[in-house]
Structure 1
């Protein structure tokens, strides 16, 4: 197997090859690091790479294999960490000029679990400023670009993670998702992304526990790889009181034979929720992917959920969150804030306490509407994004002819399930006529992560995507 093929080999396969001594962790690491060195200057997927440390850890992992040591699930595998999560000894910028030269003194919860499972942290992936938007640019350097079209955005805020996995710059990537930040780049870059149920993967450190909407999760090339990384990351932690108090399931075993779990399920398909603009090609490709669920033995209904459009309350809560967390820094150095982030902070400052409380009440109503809808259906299928990757320079002005002045106008299928906390996966389902990836979203009931992964695995078996590689 040559170095390029090695970089596109699934993590589950690499793990098995390492255990059977068919390949060394050193070989895997060297292939990935060389590819990063060759392509990252064009993609800007990584903000920091610890090549020296990764090589040393790979050598230690090889020695452990050779002496017959007990190997952990991620033994010797390269893993990238989004640059909103600290990893001790590595640069941690949060995409912000305020932390441009910051070196983390501790590991965040995800990093510590990855290391405990034998994973090797190779670097920190690019993100927008504190993850505030769906395009992966900041004031620290060039924007992250889409491997399929370098003039297009990777999506964000886990944009570096999505671009890295798509380009073969590491098989396993950590992402986080507060309004779509795992699913957006997964969809636009043509890889798999899972936003688990809220609390499935604890979030620590976290300055905003009680108003949190963010979920940690995996971005990978295959569903089984995501299941592997989720199994490592999931499980309760007392530092996050919102974490789910149950041990992780064997997600890898669950996705091996997915069809039995799907037979007889009631599945809803909504192309637009009755209010969201969607480009025709995306509508066609995602509708065809949804239709496959009939062959899986499911009953599929084309329906609109009928819930209230959540854009108003979701955007209010989003703006207030950034005004609260970043307002003081904004006053200190307004020139270190992009105009769109400054506008969000200013908008958040104009929200009264009563208006903020009304938005919280509206979120509660929306959750109840979604809960009732999912009493009738086991899964909901939607387009993941309403269009393919847009310009790396600016957001789209319209979607299918409809003006989209707000970021939330193009995130109609993502942020609702941060508001409710339900598991949702982005599943590749084809390419537009100009070669841009398209994805189907699979949404499950609260805590139904296993079923969402099984549904995604069934899609992967029916129409595999991991063999597709961008021409870089």
Structure 2
């Protein structure tokens, strides 16, 4: 078998394991060797778990030999964002308070991926509590973008995106609270999917009823994302907002068509300032859907500013609830920009928060009305390409995220797919959004676009030619 096993997609790896042409142990060892060689350059992983990965791979190989594979991901390694609790494995949350925390339980997401037979390579880098669109914290060096290590891979699932982009495993789990899967997917040149709220249940959680976040895949291909969604989706009574029905098979959705669909294209959601190169690349990508048989219409959007007015104070309230006491106890353990959100949250009262929730309902209704007319909405994923990994830019966080957070507020499914490189050779992403609970349509559209405009899912690293 080739030494370039890291180039295989999850779908390709699974098929080779099924046919007996690839050993899960061989694949896992190849990826662990690549992690050992490259992680010091990109800081994609906070914790690598070679013993667990090898144990999982040996068990997967034994099942394969007996013809008893658990499914298409059995023996195909994955990584978890270091916000997901993992039994017996350090889970830092990107925070000094929990830098040595070892949970006694798996989260629902960790448990469902473990049940597939997929070996766990490790826990990927995240900012403190996943609070921003870069991946640095006070535990160690920042995650770096494999396309240009002086740049950020994005955040907060930046370690996951960097891992996939550098060929450190084809499957990575991320979490998306204001774009934290789609942001690094766009900046790092990989596929990222934020599913509808409730498709992937959350446990444990203390914010079901005010949630912005959901788990989602970061992968080399849309088919790989579909395989991961199949593993993670489905109801669970521990999450009261879990969608209480059997989800579709997303690998079947990969075969769907966009022919005849009505597609809305918005270059700015009515208010965003977009880099001219990004604007040109994404506009051309949106027009690709006409070649696929859809009708594409540029539409005026009047609710983008409403989303911005909701998200910023909501973010402060969210983080003051989590960090107020900690910030008083050890302010030096709270990043300066996170401390600003905590201070902002202190200025918000209960009445203001209640009004924000009402405005969030208004935003959902206005987005719903768009999908009364159109089947899909296309936008740039990000208004710019990757910026320096350090220090933080001067522009406010939500100025950089105008296209992502609206759909955390409304719960609509969205994906980012690579659609080109700018003049500096940095990836650009196209965002695909569909109506509530039409995750299958997002996957179908992403798959058709990927087929029409193929992409090399790994950064061109020295020595990989």
Q: What TM-score results when the alignment is normalised by the length of structure 1? A: 0.96
1:298 equivalent among 294, 298, 322: 294
Q: CA deviation at 1:113?
A: 0.5
Partners of 1:308 and 1:148 lie apart in 2 by 31
Asked whether the 8 Å contact 2:324–2:342 carries over to 1, the reply is yes
Partner of 1:286: 282
1:79-228 to 2 correspondences below 5 Å: 79-228=78-227
Partners of 1:91 and 1:63 lie apart in 2 by 27
* Per-residue Cα deviation, 1:342-390 (whole angstroms, up to 9, x for no partner): 0100000111111111211111111111111111111000000001000
Asked whether the 8 Å contact 1:148–1:436 carries over to 2, the reply is yes
Q: CA deviation at 1:217?
A: 0.8
Q: CA deviation at 1:468?
A: 4.7
* Per-residue Cα deviation, 1:230-275 (whole angstroms, up to 9, x for no partner): 00000011110011111121111220x233xx11111000111221
Partners of 2:69 and 2:309 lie apart in 1 by 52
2:316 equivalent among 316, 319, 325: 319
Partner of 2:385: 388
Q: CA deviation at 1:470?
A: 2.5
Distance change >3 Å, CA 58–CA 367, structure 1 → 2:
same
Q: CA deviation at 1:109?
A: 0.2
Matched position secondary structure for 1:14: helix
Asked whether the 8 Å contact 2:221–2:457 carries over to 1, the reply is no
Q: CA deviation at 1:25?
A: 0.1
Q: CA deviation at 1:2?
A: 2.7
Partners of 2:459 and 2:302 lie apart in 1 by 39
* Per-residue Cα deviation, 1:373-420 (whole angstroms, up to 9, x for no partner): 1111110000000010001013444xxxxxx3x100110000000000
Partners of 1:305 and 1:350 lie apart in 2 by 31
Partners of 1:67 and 1:73 lie apart in 2 by 15
Partner of 1:401: none
Partner of 1:408: 398
Q: CA deviation at 1:317?
A: 0.8
* Per-residue Cα deviation, 1:70-95 (whole angstroms, up to 9, x for no partner): 43231111110001101111110110
* Per-residue Cα deviation, 1:77-118 (whole angstroms, up to 9, x for no partner): 111000110111111011000001111211000110011111
Q: CA deviation at 1:125?
A: 0.4
Asked whether the 8 Å contact 1:195–1:217 carries over to 2, the reply is yes
Q: CA deviation at 1:51?
A: 0.4
Please state if 1:269 is matched with 2:265. Answer: yes
* Per-residue Cα deviation, 1:55-80 (whole angstroms, up to 9, x for no partner): 12211211221122243231111110
Partners of 1:228 and 1:308 lie apart in 2 by 32
Partners of 1:70 and 1:232 lie apart in 2 by 14
Partners of 1:370 and 1:394 lie apart in 2 by 35
Q: CA deviation at 1:308?
A: 5.0
Distance change >3 Å, CA 47–CA 308, structure 1 → 2:
closer
Aligned residue pairs, count: 461
Partners of 1:396 and 1:273 lie apart in 2 by 23
Partner of 1:330: 327
Matched position secondary structure for 2:150: strand
Partners of 1:308 and 1:249 lie apart in 2 by 31
Task: Say which is worse superposed, 314-323 or 246-255, in terms of deviation.
Answer: 246-255
Partner of 2:444: 454
Q: CA deviation at 1:53?
A: 1.7
Matched position secondary structure for 1:210: helix
Asked whether the 8 Å contact 1:222–1:466 carries over to 2, the reply is no
Asked whether the 8 Å contact 1:268–1:377 carries over to 2, the reply is yes
Partners of 1:180 and 1:23 lie apart in 2 by 36
Distance change >3 Å, CA 300–CA 47, structure 1 → 2:
same
Matched position secondary structure for 1:153: coil
Partner of 2:44: 45
Asked whether the 8 Å contact 2:11–2:72 carries over to 1, the reply is no
Asked whether the 8 Å contact 2:28–2:119 carries over to 1, the reply is no
RMSD after superposition: 1.1
Partners of 2:97 and 2:384 lie apart in 1 by 33
Partner of 1:400: none
Matched position secondary structure for 2:415: strand
Partner of 1:347: 344
Please state if 1:423 is matched with 2:422. Answer: no
Q: What TM-score results when the alignment is normalised by the length of structure 2? A: 0.97
Asked whether the 8 Å contact 1:166–1:470 carries over to 2, the reply is no
Matched position secondary structure for 2:149: strand
